[in-house]
């Protein structure tokens, strides 16, 4: 009001008032396309219930679009739906469906291009090649959306939430499924992924590369074909997530490749072929996690440098730890092992005898996978007994010299 009064005193024309434009079948604004043509910065467009067959629409004004009663924008299978090229746009309450896949372009239900401060919230995206595509955007929020794909092959499927060359994102409380990757980050920095559920995707529940200073907290990655992959990044925090039921010869709850200066804290790895796979990691701390009923709890390669496993729980895994060389230098300390048979004479809560987590039979299986058929055999029991008496495979640095007798989750403060 004061700004308008000052402009009036100076003889400037008054600022236009924000308007509410209503889209409804049979009205003067029967389509969203017509409303976008009439809209000005600051306007709100409300879309009444109905199904709208729209062409690709470009949003060039700073506006708010709100669906009332879940109006449907149907792409008909042959084009992208919404392209946002203006800052501070809000899109809420829409159903966008049938954005078909293409062999020549990445089509999305909602694409944001080089914008700042947009909010994409509480939408339902169904059977779209890509759900939400973020392209060189800054400070945008993607919250509370439901993105469900129906792709059958990776080559003809896109990602539910896809970010490229962006920063300052908040991706939270979304449910994504049935796409190639649930959440995909590439060259995306200083961003947060919180409280999402990513399930039944054709490849990864979360896949990110060259994405630094990001955190992933409180997400659930369930039943994804290859699990979660974190690659070629530094200063990453992965905390309080669930990695469950990723099963197959190349499936991992969490794959870390060429990651440095990062933390993996208080996560649950349950019923994966391998809970955590670490290759080329450097200065990574794995603390307070639970590895439960996996094929391999942890597979850590010999090239992992200064990778520390502290205060974790290993229970019900076929193999707790495996590595691929006697020169491995990862450190295990203060972990709880259900296979530990030592004693605690001084009652300090830690075993008095070190624990060797690498089984001799794990090395045999790594060289010859069909040997797994012998896993529950008397022969393997003899190998394990011999290994306990005279451990020969566990590198000295990987011995847990202070195994915990009873596991308790560490009280790690949020940082």
* Range from 2-6, 199-203, 283-287 carrying the lowest mean pLDDT: 2-6
The predicted model gives 397-412 an average pLDDT of: 84
pLDDT at residue 338 in the model: 93
pLDDT at residue 329 in the model: 79
The predicted model gives 75-92 an average pLDDT of: 96
- How high does pLDDT run on average in the chain? 89
Other Cβ atoms less than 10 A from the Cβ of 190: the count is 16
Query: Residue 1 — pLDDT band, cuts 50, 70, 90?
Result: very low
Cα–Cα distance for residue pair 322/356, rounded to 1 Å: 11
Helix (H) or strand (E) holding 193: strand 192-194
Highest mean pLDDT among 22-36, 339-353, 401-415: 22-36
Task: Please say whether the dihedral angle defined by the alpha carbons of residues 335, 340, 342 and 344, taken in this order, is positive or negative.
Answer: positive
The two tokens of residue 247 are 């099963």
The predicted model gives 301-328 an average pLDDT of: 88
Please check whether residue 174 is in contact with residue 133, taking contact to mean a CB–CB distance below 8 angstroms.
no
pLDDT at residue 79 in the model: 94
Q: What sections of 203-270 are H helices per DSSP?
A: none
The predicted model gives 266-276 an average pLDDT of: 97
Cα–Cα distance for residue pair 160/177, rounded to 1 Å: 7
Task: Express each pLDDT in 206-259 by its tens digit.
Answer: 999 999 999 999 999 999 999 999 999 999 999 999 999 999 888 999 999 999
Please check whether residue 287 is in contact with residue 312, taking contact to mean a CB–CB distance below 8 angstroms.
yes
The predicted model gives 23-31 an average pLDDT of: 96
What is the dotted CATH code of the domain comprising 16-225? 2.160.20.10
Q: Which residue has the tokens 């008054």?
A: 14
Query: Residue 15 — pLDDT band, cuts 50, 70, 90?
Result: low
* Range from 64-78, 190-204, 270-284, 401-415 carrying the lowest mean pLDDT: 401-415
Q: Which residue has the tokens 């030592």?
A: 342
pLDDT at residue 245 in the model: 97
Residue 389, pLDDT > 60, answer no
**E-assigned strands of 37-154?**
44-47, 51-53, 57-59, 64-67, 72-74, 82-84, 90-92, 95-97, 108-113, 119-121, 124-126, 130-135, 141-143, 146-148
* Range from 70-79, 188-197, 394-403 carrying the lowest mean pLDDT: 394-403
More confident of the two residues 243 and 386:
243
pLDDT at residue 103 in the model: 76
pLDDT at residue 382 in the model: 59
The predicted model gives 405-414 an average pLDDT of: 74
Q: Which residues fall within 8 angstroms of residue 319, CB to CB, at 6 or more apart?
A: 295, 296, 297, 359, 361, 362, 365
Burial bucket for residue 26 (CB in 10 Å: 0-12, 13-18, 19+):
exposed
Residue 7, pLDDT > 50, answer no
Query: Residue 11 — pLDDT band, cuts 50, 70, 90?
Result: low
pTM for this model (two decimals): 0.89
**DSSP 3-state of 54:** coil
Query: Residue 356 — pLDDT band, cuts 50, 70, 90?
Result: confident
Helix (H) or strand (E) holding 381: helix 378-389
The predicted model gives 132-155 an average pLDDT of: 93
Burial bucket for residue 331 (CB in 10 Å: 0-12, 13-18, 19+):
middle
pLDDT at residue 376 in the model: 57
The predicted model gives 155-160 an average pLDDT of: 88
**DSSP 3-state of 182:** coil
Maximum C-alpha span of the chain? 95
Cα–Cα distance for residue pair 177/309, rounded to 1 Å: 31
pLDDT at residue 415 in the model: 43
Cα–Cα distance for residue pair 96/391, rounded to 1 Å: 59
Cα–Cα distance for residue pair 184/172, rounded to 1 Å: 14
Residue 31, pLDDT > 80, answer yes
283 has which bridge partners? Answer: none
The predicted model gives 340-349 an average pLDDT of: 90
Residue 174, pLDDT > 60, answer yes
The predicted model gives 146-151 an average pLDDT of: 92
pLDDT at residue 398 in the model: 80
Task: Express each pLDDT in 177-194 by its tens digit.
Answer: 999 999 999 999 999 999
Residue 392, pLDDT > 80, answer no
Task: Express each pLDDT in 315-334 by its tens digit.
Answer: 999 889 988 876 677 899 99
């Amino acid at each position: 009001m004061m700004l308008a009064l000052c402009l009036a005193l100076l003889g400037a024309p008054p600022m236009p008032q924000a308007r509410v434009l209503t889209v409804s079948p049979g009205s003067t604004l029967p389509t969203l396309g017509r409303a976008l043509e009439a809209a000005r910065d600051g306007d709100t467009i409300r879309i009444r219930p109905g199904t709208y067959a729209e062409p690709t629409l470009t949003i060039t004004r700073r506006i708010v679009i709100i669906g009332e009663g879940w109006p449907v924008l149907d792409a008909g299978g042959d084009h992208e739906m919404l392209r946002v090229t203006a800052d501070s746009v809000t899109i809420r309450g829409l159903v966008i469906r049938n954005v078909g896949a293409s062999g020549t372009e990445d089509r999305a239900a909602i694409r944001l291009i080089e914008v700042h401060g947009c909010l994409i919230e509480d939408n339902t995206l169904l059977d779209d090649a890509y759900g939400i595509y973020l392209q060189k955007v800054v400070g945008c929020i993607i919250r509370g959306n439901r993105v469900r794909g129906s792709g059958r092959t990776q080559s003809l499927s896109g990602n539910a939430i896809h970010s490229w060359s962006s920063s300052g994102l908040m991706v939270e409380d979304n449910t994504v499924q049935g796409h190639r990757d649930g959440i995909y980050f590439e060259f995306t920095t200083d961003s947060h992924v919180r409280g999402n559920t990513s399930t039944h995707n054709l490849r990864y529940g979360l896949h990110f590369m060259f994405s630094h200073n990001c955190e992933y907290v409180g997400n659930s990655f369930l039943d994804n074909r290859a699990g979660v992959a974190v690659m070629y990044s530094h200063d990453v925090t992965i905390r309080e997530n669930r990695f469950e039921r990723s099963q197959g010869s190349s499936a991992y709850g969490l794959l870390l490749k060429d990651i440095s200066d990062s933390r993996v804290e208080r996560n649950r790895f349950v019923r994966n072929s391998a809970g955590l796979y670490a290759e080329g990691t450097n200065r990574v701390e794995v603390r307070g996690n639970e590895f439960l009923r996996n094929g391999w709890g942890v597979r850590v390669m010999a090239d992992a440098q200064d990778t520390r496993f502290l205060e974790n729980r290993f229970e019900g895994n076929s193999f707790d730890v495996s590595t691929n060389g006697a020169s491995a230098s990862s450190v295990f300390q203060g972990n709880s092992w259900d296979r530990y048979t030592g004693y605690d004479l001084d009652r300090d809560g830690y075993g008095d005898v070190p624990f060797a987590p690498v089984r001799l039979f794990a090395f045999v299986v790594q060289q010859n996978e069909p040997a797994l058929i012998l896993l529950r055999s008397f022969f393997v029991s003899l190998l394990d007994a011999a290994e306990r008496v005279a451990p020969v495979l566990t590198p000295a640095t990987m011995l847990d010299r202070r195994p915990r007798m009873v596991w308790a989750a560490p009280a790690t403060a949020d940082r």
